[in-house]
Amino acid sequence: MTRPRIEVSDLVVRYGDATAVDGIGFDIAPGELVTLLGPSGCGKTTTLRAVAGLETPSSGSIRLNDETVYSAPERRNVPTEKRGVSMVFQSYAIWPHMTVFENVAYGLRVRKLPQAEVRQNVQRVLDLVQMQDFSERPASKLSGGQQQRVAVARAIAFSPNVLLFDEPLSNLDAKLRAEMRVELRELQRRLDITSLYVTHDQEEALAISDRVIVMNGGKIEQIGTPEEIYNRPRSRFVADFVGSANLIQGEVRGPSSSNDTLIFEAEGGMRLEVVASSASRDGQNTVALRPSYIHLGHAAGSRNAVAGRIHRRMFHGDFIQYVVDWPAGQLIVRRPPTELFDEGSEVTISFEPVHCVLL
Amino acid sequence: MIVRGLSLRQIVMPLVVLLCGTLVLYPIGFLINESLNVGDPSVFPPEEYGLDNYWNLIDDYHILANTALVACIATVLAVLFGFLQAWILTRTNIPGRQRLERLMELPYYMTPLIGALAWGVLLGPKTGLVNQVWRSLGLPGDLFNIYSPYGIAWVMALFEGTVAFVMISAAMKSMDPSLEESSRVLGAGKLRTALRITLPLVAPGVLSATIFVFAEMLGSFAAAFVLGIPGRFYVVTTAIWQATLSFPPDYGRAAAMGLSLFGVMLITLTLARLVLRHGSYATITGKAFRPREMDVGRMRWPLLGIAWGYIIVAVILPLAALLLTSFEKFATVILPQMKFTLANYETALQMGSVGPAFVNSLTLGISVATVGVPVIGVLAWIIYRSRMPGRGAAEYVIMFPQAVPRLVFGLGLLWAWINLPIPIYGTLWLLGLAYFTVFLPLGLRTIASVVLQVDPSLEECARVCGAPWIYQMRTVTLPLLRPGMVAAWLLIFIASVRELGVSIFLMGPNSKVIAPAIVNSWLSSSSELSAAMALIQTATVFAAVALMFSLARRVTGVTQ
């Protein structure tokens, strides 16, 4: 069995009295793209920078390619330039005093490769990011999107084992961001390069990752595939931060008659059937329900059906968002733009127990 | 595993900080020591310690009163000039503002010494050019005697007016125009907006400029020296100088006066910083706004007159007076008496001690700048980029000479190096070392402004690409800092060529430099010769400035 390319364990990073990263650990397998997702200040960028060697942790250990690059007990801290990682910075960090070619060739020249090989490699990666026509251009004369491509080309030029991304798309406008997301994923798959990716954009994280690590307050909230994170959030924080969720307060009243679900009594007396999660525990008093999984009108197989009334309709283009009054207060529902209901009309709200996640 | 590149860094960094820190603190330590010496002043180390030197300051109350008088008048005038110019040039629509704004930098390069000489030539009693005209019109006495407290204040105000202008116009420019616009939108008129919105927003900037200028005035030397000594009018700085010349030299009294002055300046400068930090609301964002221009209608011509008037009085008139005088046998504006000659320039460049003084000053300027800039560059990087412990304290120490009056620092350096067994007193080496020490803040501030603009990830990226520290410094950091280094080189060069306060204590018979030589010539020989020397010095400074701008344009042209 191949060892993971990146192994982080019990990592703690402190700045003075503040603890930015509070004892986290995870492994990343070869060729995998794993995202650190969380709000600003959750410690995700600090974790990435610790892996790169740009921050010095307080304790824990980091192993890259089976070599310990940081270990508090062994007092070992390999400097950044000896770690064999590469990184794409949030600000791109394109050196303005060099041409595109010189920027991309930097890592190869540091490694003292022969001139011909440098030229060949730069050409290859510029082709990959479709910047082959810009190699002699001064780097200061590039648009944001072009700088982004050069930054990626520079990061992969010297064939690093591990690639780190620090919010690489956050400075691009929405449309370009969506395009680059696809391209980055393509590139990563094609080169089969182990990647750790930091973002605060949950949509981006779900779209490009093999696995997502959701962080909050310096700790890991949940690790899982994008589908697991979205469908089975393990905490209120994850349910709320990744995608959007209706959070319904109430109490579990025991198994239902069919015995494969639990009865959940919401505040206001409404009873819902919910699926018991494997990690069921006492004191669970919230059900998370994604707006996209709720039907308006009676849908087949939806074992929960409740009467409600459309309070507000907002047209978003790709979908319509309804605010629906129902016995437990108000419910957010997303429907395709073909399903039009007028404000004030009575509807039946229905959804499946499997989409009701007990927290 | 500690890697070698890191340990090299770990050796270089503390070494540089330690070296520069010592250069700054060592003379100040000596000064404190000497100020407490109540025994024989020429014996080192002191035999008796006491506070008598400080108690005796009370007897010098007239000197303190003189200093306060001059500083207050000059501050009021300078802030008035600066505020008017700043308002006219940033907020009104008078024609040719951009050119005027550039010309406003000129008084700064003129230096107080040149200003004092020029106004001495213009308004000296009896012989002053303006007073000559006054008498030739048959009017009694002199129009104005520049050898007076008011004369000294006038010259200092013209010079510091530029400083006030720069600070106040920065405050006016950094104000978001939408703050005023929203007041207008909400229904307030022009006057109400000016009083309720504009003034409160600009006030902290004006106040801190006032305090800063006042502190500078307290420590200034050249004008009081050139215009005060002939009339035996002493302020603190000139009194310090006088104390060191008396026989036996009263170093204890001078040191006590110097340290007290330093104390007052430190307090006022700290106050200026506090005012700026706590009073400035959110207007200083570092963002440059294009302020709203007020249409001043017919008032534009009088305002244009005021703006040009300042330039004429502060730059053109003094330079013209010096130019005329320097080509004359006897300084005069009475046409039939004029006799033109080149002899003054010949003397200036040939004379036994003056010619070498020019050479010495240029040599010092070039070598101090060339050696100093790389060292200060490393220092700036350590203080603003590295994570070395104690770098905040290092910054504080390095910036120290800024708050110490140049003359007082010169005294400390004199005393410190005279008592060292290293025989560099009276040589150019000592002057070079002294210049480097007092220009540390200037260089650090200039390079720091560029260091702070360079995104740290540009350097981090080099490390991630596999570059060791030295390689990263050579290929990324230093090239990015080049514009700042070039600017710092020229600023230090200019400052060295016109240095007076430190040089006057440290130059020896074989290490004369230009600024003190001009002063000596003014006090002992002729104003015509002094004018020629001052003009040569000014021309050198202007040439360096011109070079700086053309270089700066080329350097930034490449990098952008």
Preferred mutation among B4, B388, B459, B461 to probe A, highest tally of A CBs within 10 A = B461
Whether residue B45 is preceded by a cis peptide bond, meaning omega within 30 degrees of 0, is: yes
Q: Which of A82, A96, A164 faces B559 most closely, judged by CB atoms?
A: A96
Task: Please answer yes or no on whether A93 and B455 come within 8 Å at the CB atom.
Answer: yes
Cβ contacts of B460 on chain A, cutoff 8 Å: 52, 54, 80, 87, 89, 93
CA distances from B540 to A68, B159, B537 (A): 60, 19, 5
A331: β partners: A324
User: Would you say the C-alpha torsion B103, B106, B108, B112 has a positive or negative sign?
Assistant: negative
- Can you tell me the distance from the alpha carbon of A59 to that of A54, in angstroms, rounded to the nearest whole number? 15
SS3 at position A15:
strand
User: Which residues are registered as beta bridge partners of A250?
Assistant: A266
CA distance A76 to chain B (A): 5
Chain A residue with minimum CA distance to B560: A140
Q: Say if the Cβ atoms of A93 and B1 lie within 8 Å.
A: no
Task: Among A71, A81, A94, A148, pick the best mutation site for testing chain B contact (most B Cβ within 10 A).
Answer: A81
Q: Which candidate, B130, B20, B8, places its Cα nearest to that of B394?
A: B20
pLDDT digits (tens, 9 = 90+) for B469-490: 889 988 998 888 888 888 889 8
Which residues of chain B lie closer than 8 angstroms to A107, CB-CB?
465-466
CA B519 to the chain's CA centroid: 18
Helix orientation angle between B354-384 and B343-350, rounded to the nearest 10 degrees? 60
What is the reported pLDDT for B558?
Answer: 46
A293 touches chain B (CB under 8 A): no
Q: Considering only CB atoms, which chain A residues are within 8 Å of B467?
A: 81, 106, 110
- In this complex, the residue of B1, B3, B465 whose CB is nearest that of residue A106 is B465
Res A304: pLDDT = 87
* Dihedral pair phi/psi, residue B115, rounded to 5°: -60, -45
Q: Mind telling me how many Å the CA of A138 is from chain B's nearest CA?
A: 9
The reported pLDDT for the residue numbered B283 is 43
**Which chain B residues are Cβ-neighbours of A82 within 8 angstroms?**
3, 466
**pLDDT in the model for residue B284:** 41
What residues form DSSP beta bridges with A246? A289
**Count of CB pairs separated by less than 8 Å, A with B:** 73
At residue B281, the pLDDT reads: 53
* CA distances for B262 relative to B215, B269, B409, B556, angstroms: 9, 10, 9, 39
Q: Does B471 touch chain A if contact means CB atoms closer than 8 Å? A: yes
First-residue to last-residue Cα distance in chain A:
35
The closest of A209, A200, A250 to A229, measured between CA atoms, is A209
Distance CA(A322)–CA(A324), nearest Å, equals 6
Pairwise CA distance, residues B224 & B148, whole Å: 9
Please name the amino acid found at residue B389: P
Is the Cβ of B475 closer than 8 Å to some Cβ of chain A?
Answer: yes
Share of chain B above pLDDT 90, in %: 17
B 529-558 near A (Cβ less than 8 A): 558
Select from A74, A97, A99, A154 the residue whose CB has the most chain B CBs within 10 Å, as the one to mutate to test that interface: A97
Which residues of chain A neighbour B462 with C-beta distances below 8 Å? 106
Contact B528, B265 (CB under 8 A): no
Best CA proximity match to B93, nearest among B245, B293, B350: B293
User: Is the Cβ–Cβ distance between A314 and A346 less than 8 Å?
Assistant: no
Q: Is any Cβ of chain B less than 8 angstroms from the Cβ of A189?
A: no
Residue B404 Rama label (left phi>0; alpha psi -120 to 50; beta): beta
Which residues from chain A sit within 8 angstroms of residue B463, using beta carbons? 53-54, 79-81
Q: How far apart are CA B32 and CA B37, in angstroms?
A: 9
Q: Can you give A167-222 as a three-state secondary structure string?
A: CCCCCCCHHHHHHHHHHHHHHHHHHCCEEEEEECCHHHHHHHCCEEEEEECCEEEE
**pLDDT tens-place string over residues B417-473:** 877 777 888 889 999 999 999 999 989 988 888 888 888 899 999 999 999 888 998
CA distance B495 to chain A (A): 30
Per CB-CB distance under 8 Å, the chain A contacts of B480 are 95-97
The pLDDT tens digits of the residues spanning A304-354 come to 889 999 999 999 999 999 999 998 889 999 999 999 999 999 999 999 888
Check B465 against A82: CB less than 8 A apart. no
Q: Which of B377, B387, B372, B553 is closest to B474 using CA atoms?
A: B377
Residues 6+ apart with CB under 8 A from B184: B190, B193
List, for residues A266-275, the tens digit of each pLDDT value: 887 888 888 8
Q: CA B303, CA B299: separation in Å to the nearest integer?
A: 6
Residue that the structure tokens 């000479």 belong to = B401
Of B5, B457, B479, the CB nearest to A93: B457
Q: Which residues contact B93 (CB under 8 A, 6 or more apart)?
A: B293, B294, B295, B296, B300
Mean pLDDT (chain B) is 83
Give the residue from chain B lying closest to A160, CA to CA.
Answer: B465
Q: Domain B2-29+59-278+308-328+346-556 maps to which CATH number in 1.10.760.10, 1.10.3720.10, 3.40.640.10, 3.90.1150.10?
A: 1.10.3720.10
Of B294, B316, B389, the residue nearest B14 (C-alpha): B389
Which of B3, B455, B479 lies nearest to residue A79, judging by beta carbons?
A: B3
pLDDT digits (tens, 9 = 90+) for A281-304: 666 788 999 999 999 987 666 788
> Which tokens hold the place of B152?
């000294």
Walk across the sheet containing A76-77 and list its strands: A18-28, A6-15, A59-64, A67-71, A76-77
Q: Could you report the per-residue pLDDT of A242-252, keeping only the tens digit for each?
A: 988 999 998 88
> Which pLDDT band, with edges at 50, 70 and 90, does B560 fall under?
very low
B479 touches chain A (CB under 8 A): yes
Q: What is the pLDDT of residues B231-272, one digit of tens each?
A: 889 999 999 888 888 777 788 888 888 888 888 888 887 887
Instruction: Please enumerate in sequence order all residues whose Cβ is within 8 A of that of A131, keeping only pairs 6 or more positions apart, or say none.
Output: A100, A146, A149, A150, A153
ipTM: 0.82
Q: How far apart are CA B239 and CA B182, in angstroms?
A: 54
Q: Is the pLDDT at A110 greater than 90, yes or no?
A: yes
Peptide bond into B200 cis (omega under 30): no
Read off the pLDDT of each residue in A189-197 and give the average, rounded to a whole number. Answer: 94
Pick from B44, B12, B22: nearest CA to B418: B44
Q: Where are the domains of chain B?
A: 2-29+59-278+308-328+346-556
C-alpha dihedral (B176, B178, B181, B187), degrees to nearest 10? -120
- At residue A166, does pLDDT exceed 70? yes
What pLDDT was estimated at residue B34?
Answer: 83
Confidence of residue A192 (pLDDT cuts 50, 70, 90): very high
pLDDT of residue A7 exceeding 90: yes
pLDDT of residue B282: 45
Contacts 24+ apart (CB under 8 A), B31-34: B31/B255, B31/B258, B31/B259, B31/B408, B31/B411, B31/B412, B31/B415, B31/B416, B32/B255, B32/B259, B34/B251, B34/B252, B34/B255, B34/B415
Give how far B177 is from chain A: nearest CA, Å: 27
Token digits of residue B557: 């042209």
For the segment A219-235, what is each residue's pLDDT rounded down to a tens digit?
Answer: 999 999 999 999 999 89
Measured between alpha carbons, how far is residue B112 from residues A29, B107, B127, B457, B518 in Å?
70, 9, 21, 43, 13
Q: Which residues of chain A lie closer than 8 angstroms to B476, CB-CB?
A: 95
B4 at A interface, C-beta within 8 A: no
DSSP letter assigned to residue B49 = B
Is 50 exceeded by the pLDDT of residue B502? yes
Q: Which long-range contacts (CB under 8 A, 24 or more apart) does B237-245 make?
A: B237/B261, B237/B405, B237/B407, B237/B408, B237/B501, B239/B60, B239/B63, B240/B407, B240/B408, B240/B411, B241/B407, B241/B504, B244/B411, B244/B414, B244/B505
d(CA B49, CA B37): 5
A152 in contact with B, Cβ within 8 Å:
no
Note the Cα B215 to chain centre separation in Å. 12
Residue ranges with strand state E in A190-319: 194-199, 211-216, 219-224, 246-255, 262-266, 271-274, 286-289, 295-296, 304-315
Residue to mutate among A55, A56, A106, with most B CBs inside 10 A, is A106
Nearest CB among A87, A110, A154 relative to B467 is that of: A110
Place of tokens 């020229």: B490
B458 CB near a chain A CB, below 8 Å? yes
Q: Which residues contact A306 (CB under 8 A, 6 or more apart)?
A: A270, A326, A327, A348, A349, A350
Are A193 and A163 a contacting pair, CB within 8 Å? yes
| Helices B354-384 + B514-524 axis angle, to 10 | 140
Q: Select the more confidently predicted residue: B39 or A99.
A: A99
pLDDT tens-place string over residues B69-123: 999 999 999 999 999 999 888 888 888 888 888 888 887 777 788 889 999 888 8
Which chain B residue's Cα is nearest to A94?
B458
Contact B310, B85 (CB under 8 A): yes
User: Rounded to a whole number, what is the distance in angstroms from the first to the last CA of chain B?
Assistant: 40
Which residue shows structure tokens 């009676």? A298
- Rounded to whole angstroms, how far apart are CA atoms B299 and B316? 24
Spatial CA neighbour of B401 closest among B27, B18, B33:
B27
Nearest CA in chain A to B7: A79
